[in-house]
Amino acid sequence: MNISPLLRWPLPKHDYWSTPFAESLLRHLALSPGIRILDIASGHGIPAFYLAEQIGPTGEVLAIDVSAGQVARARAIQGRQLPWLRFECMDMRSLPPALPAFDRITGNLSVMFFRPNRFEAVRGLVERLNPGGQLVLTFPSYGTFDSLWQRVDQAMIQQGLIKERERFQDYLKERPSVQDGRDWLEALGLERVEAMEYPLEVATGPGHEFLHHPLLRGGFLDDVYECFEDQRLAEEFMTDSAQDITQFTPLIAQRCVLSGWKQTSD
C-alpha cells in the first residue's frame, strides 16, 4: 500500500483502540486511486477519512453505521471536505438491494456486531464485492484479555457462583477465533485468504480506573456484569477483582485481521 507523505486525514493518534485496529487493517488492504469502498461499522470515521484521502476524488467511499449518533458525529467532522466520502445510517446485515457493488469492503472492529449469525453476515458482504474485490475485517479475537477471563472464572469457582459461571462460559465460547474467521472466508470461496493476529497491550490501573476504563467498560467488562442477575452482587464481585490487577495484567488484546479476494469472473 502506497501512503501519501502529506496526509491531512491521518489516523488519530489519541485513539488507543480504533486506531491500532485500523493500522492492522491497513497492513492488508490494497488501495489505489479511483476504487469504490464500502466501510461498515464506520463509527466516527476511523479509517473512513483516511481511506477517502488515499483513493482521491476519482473514487468513492460509502461509510455506514447503524448508530445515527455516530453518523451525525462523522458528518460534523467532515463538513464539506472529501465530497466523495458519504456517511449513511445503514445496517450492514440488511443492505439495500439497489446498492451497487464495491471494489473493497472494510470493517474496522466490525465482526462483533455480526452476531448471532456471523457467517451469514460475512456472506452478505462478499455478495456485495465486485469480482476481484477485497474484503478486510478486524476484530478482537478469541484470546483477547484471556488473563482477565481466567481470573474471573477462578473467582466464580471459588465463590460458588454456578449460574453466573455457566453464563460466563457461554460468553467465552461465543467469541470468534482467528481460525473461525479463516474458515468463513474459505467457505465463501475467497482467494488469497489471510487471517492474522497482532497483540496489543492495554494499560490500566487498579480499582476505579480498571472498572471504568474507557476501553473495557461499555464492552468487555459489561459482558461479565450481564452474567449476574443480581447487579449488586456483580458490582461486589468486580470491585473485588479490581483491587489487585497484578493477577491479570498485562491485558493483551488480539487484533485479528481477515482478508480475502473474490474470484474474478471467467
Grid coordinates representing 92 are 450492514
Q: What's the pLDDT score for residue 6?
A: 61
pLDDT at 84: 97
In contact, 106 and 22? CB cutoff 8 Å: no
Q: Which residues of the chain have pLDDT under 70?
A: 1-6, 266
Domain ranges of the chain: 18-140+176-199+255-261, 146-171+204-249
Correct CATH for 18-140+176-199+255-261 of 3.40.50.261, 1.10.760.10, 3.40.50.150, 2.60.40.2380: 3.40.50.150
Task: Count the Cβ atoms, other than its own, within 10 Å of residue 125.
Answer: 22
pLDDT, tens digit, 9 for 90 and up, residues 122-159: 999 999 999 999 999 999 999 999 999 999 999 999 99
Q: What is the pLDDT of residue 1?
A: 47
Helix-, strand-, coil-residue percentages of the chain, each rounded to 5 = 40, 20, 40
pTM metric for this prediction:
0.92
- Paired sense of beta strands 251-261 and 191-202, if any: antiparallel
46: helix, strand or coil:
coil
The percentage of residues in the chain with a pLDDT greater than 90, rounded to a whole number, is 85
